[in-house]
Amino acid sequence: MPTQYANGAKAAAICDRCGFRYALGKLKSETIRGRKTSFLVCTECWSPDHPQNFQGMVPVNDPQALRNPRPDTGMAASRNVPNQPQSPLTTETNTPVGTEDGDSLTTE
């Protein structure tokens, strides 16, 4: 036969954290890392279990490197980055600032 308890409609209990008196039905069970402790705490003292407490419980696989990379080595142009000073694919002209067609500015 299962154990029977009184319903405790007017039962009082003490918060295990702050020590104040509350109705037994108002106290909540405290959890740490997803497991219930034997502590009963009031709503002011109770806080939900923070997700950061569960770090390391779930395996994380986040590979960064490729096993057998195959870079494009066939084209010389693929080795150069466009719009760089030494790149043969540069589309910009290197003229001094404030000059036109390489001529120096003269003040009149």
The residue among 78, 13, 63 whose CA lies nearest residue 40 is 13
pTM: 0.47
pLDDT at 85: 66
Residue 34 lies in a domain: yes
Amino acid identity, position 1 = M
Domains in the chain: how many in total? 1
Q: In whole angstroms, what is the distance from residue 29 CA to residue 37 CA?
A: 7
For the chain (length 108 residues), average pLDDT per consecutive 10? 76 93 92 90 92 84 83 67 60 56 53
Residue 30 lies in a domain: yes
Domain range for 13: 9-48
